[in-house]
Amino acid sequence: MPDAPSANVPDRNLALELVRVTEAAAMAGGRWVGRGDKNRADGAAVEAMRALISTVEMRGTVVIGEGEKDNAPMLFNGELVGDGTGPEVDVAVDPIDGTTLTAKGMPNAIAVMAVSDRGSMYDPSAVFYMDKLVAGPEVADVVDIRLPAAENVRRIAKAKKQSTEDVTVVMLDRPRHEKLAQEVRDSGARIKLISDGDVAGAISAARETTGIDLLLGVGGTPEGIITACAIKCLGGVIQGRLWPQDDDERQKAIDAGHDLDKVLTTDDLVTSDNCFFVGTGITDGELLQGVRYSRGRATTNSIVMRSKSGTVRVIESHHVLDRTAGLPQGTA
């Protein structure tokens, strides 16, 4: 008989426990879709996520939390989560990736969470943003963040045996990307601009069925590390370079020992080969459907991945909301 899994190593049973956490966050945040208050939405999702994560059989430490970067309700860095039993793990959370998307009722808001062996997630030491490149397995060996955008587009087109006009690049719609966007357009490729939510955008770039070939540009470092856990499960590549916002942050990074010219690879961002990624849709998007509510029930659409097996599950769950006595609404 095979050996039983070690209590100190995350096993496959953890995946389905984790998806309950993102489902809870999505249902709580989903009540605020289109209501114009991103902080209330985020607060509801954080509260639900914290309530459910405390029931998961793990000894988790939040390594990547959202509050410090966004000045929003926290699952803060260093917070201990889980029920105090089971494996010791690093935890990265984003109760709502796309708070503005949620507040405006726009596509691609998701609740996400990643878990890996303790000590395996990268610590950005307060460098809150990162220049990123994400692509799928078919082109992982040909792209390089140090190359011009046009060259990466050309290499992707060649690897996929298509023209550059067939390549689609996703990036955040920010003034800092105006030059990058023009370089991509000049290459002949198409661009999909997103207002928020670069975790969903990055995963779309790594999956074959989304019509997205590449993610480029500067986004949050926490989101980059969460994405790296997903890439470990899907294959593909994420490359990043820390992107300090000002001289003070740059000096803080240097003092902490960071090489700002170094290209961080998937293995730099998460060293473990036993990690999990879970996400639940809040609003409809290319990756997942959003939460549906009807007559005391809710339907959620989630993706669950485990790197050790390479298994990717898409789960539709049906929840009876009046059976959640003792928990925040929508946490069953």
pLDDT tens-digit map of 290-306: 999 999 999 999 999 99
What the block records as the tokens of 182 is: 């023009």
Q: What pLDDT does 41 receive?
A: 96
Q: What pLDDT does 100 receive?
A: 95
Q: Is 97 annotated as a binding residue?
A: yes
CATH superfamily, domain 13-121+275-323, is Fructose-1,6-Bisphosphatase, subunit A, domain 1 (3.30.540.10)
> Do 256 and 234 touch, CB atoms closer than 8 A?
no
In terms of Cα–Cα distance, which of 94, 124, 125 is closest to 111?
Answer: 94
Q: Is 70 annotated as a binding residue?
A: no
Contacts of 325 (CB under 8 A, 6+ apart): none
Q: End-to-end CA distance of the chain, in Å?
A: 35
Q: Is 66 annotated as a binding residue?
A: yes
> Which amino acid, 312?
V
Architecture of the domain defined by 129-269:
3-Layer(aba) Sandwich (3.40)
Q: Is 281 annotated as a binding residue?
A: no
Mean pLDDT for each 10-residue chunk of the chain (332 residues)? 54 85 97 97 94 94 72 73 95 94 96 96 84 97 98 98 97 97 98 93 92 96 94 96 94 90 96 96 95 95 94 95 55 53
Q: Is 155 annotated as a binding residue?
A: no
Q: What pLDDT does 67 receive?
A: 54
Q: What pLDDT does 328 receive?
A: 47
Q: What pLDDT does 324 receive?
A: 53
Q: Is 151 annotated as a binding residue?
A: no
d(CA 20, CA 69): 25
- Token look-up 């789960």 returns 315
Q: Is 131 annotated as a binding residue?
A: no
Q: Is 129 annotated as a binding residue?
A: yes
Q: Is 223 annotated as a binding residue?
A: yes
- The domain segmentation of the chain, as residue ranges, is 13-121+275-323, 129-269
Q: Is 197 annotated as a binding residue?
A: yes
Q: Is 174 annotated as a binding residue?
A: yes
pTM confidence score = 0.89
Q: What pLDDT does 3 receive?
A: 47
d(CA 122, CA 175): 28
What the block records as the tokens of 156 is: 């992707």
